[in-house]
Structure 1
């Protein structure tokens, strides 16, 4: 799959490790934050919404210098742009999240790039390190897999009743086309290139596609 150019602009927060700039979803490279609905235990053993807290912390951090620049690293399995992102003042966003206990170094993808920041957070019992928690990738495996087995798919393999065409341009831009739009009939979907059929606009947007302007 094709790479992509750096992205700069004002960021909005989607969750603890995902932002959106110019309608493009961007996941931070090499880290994993608690999921939006995930709960953790604090130092006193009380449950709290650690996923929501991570997103709120990120929003507060970015509000100090809202402009963000992301260098492309890869596309993930959901079609999202994965990037190494810095705040407008040059501070590495992923590193800040890990050092403050709002996300974890993800060795599978980071090769330990944020291990030192994580050690600091753990030693100081910051954020999720203040009490017991389940690492986000294990939490997802247990919870989201069960949800997906009983819900409609985000996208379809082949045109199995889902009508929205998720196209990827030669420049790597992800655009979806609705029936009746100008280029819908001439757009061909090649799943081998990462293109997809979507069942709803919400699913297309959450996977990193934007709506065609025509």
Structure 2
């Protein structure tokens, strides 16, 4: 009988912890109202507020990919895919935290499905976490949807390469100015 009481008390305590965690999570997550404007494949705007979809990374607007030996504007297509998803019906976004650029980090739902999961499933974004949206990404890879239909550079790697190019161009330009001896 003592073990039964201990088990019941333990279960009640765990249930209480779950309720507290759910309450804290809902307090930190505020609804964001639209209308929403699509900025790129993983960023929205609601009025002056910028919103970053959590758990995904889409090609940048000027990023290109290759499919069937042809270069295509995968960044522009990712934006168009997100626009189509946002236009399907009532979209509810919730967030609380901000990223290093000040954008509100949000999760969005439409028709009972996450917009983030749909972007990954369509092959127009990659999952950034170890677990979240991985099954959707495997499905997109297997079916060769979107960016998985050919070759592409991961968006984070693409951004790093562009940053290095820009920094390199600034350095090279400075060296050319210095070596030109026109400053003498």
TM-score normalised by length of structure 2? 0.72
Q: Which residue of 2 aligns with 1:119?
A: 138
Q: Which residue of 1 aligns with 2:51?
A: 26
Structure 1 stretch displaced more, 69-78 or 31-40:
69-78
Instruction: Mark the structure with the bigger radius of gyration.
Output: 2
In the TM superposition, 1:192-211 aligns within 5 A as none
Partners of 2:29 and 2:88 lie apart in 1 by 27
Question: 1:63-121: CA deviations, max 9, x gaps?
Answer: 121x422221521111111111112x2321000000000000012xxx32000000000
* Structure in which a larger fraction of residues adopt helix: 2
Structure 1 stretch displaced more, 7-16 or 118-127:
7-16
Q: Which runs of 4+ in 1 moved over 2 A?
A: 3-6, 144-151
Partners of 1:61 and 1:74 lie apart in 2 by 23
Is the CA contact 1:75–1:81 (under 8 Å) kept in the aligned structure 2? yes
Give the direction of change, closer, same or farther, for the CA distance of 1:149–1:24 in structure 2 (3 Å limit).
farther
In the TM superposition, 1:119-198 aligns within 5 A as 119-147=138-166
Unaligned runs of 5+ in 2: 1-27, 171-184
Unaligned runs of 5+ in 1: 152-214
Please state if 1:52 is matched with 2:99: no
Is the CA contact 1:17–1:28 (under 8 Å) kept in the aligned structure 2? yes
Equivalences, count: 143
RMSD: 1.9
Pairwise CA distance, 1:45: 1.5
TM-score normalised by length of structure 1? 0.62
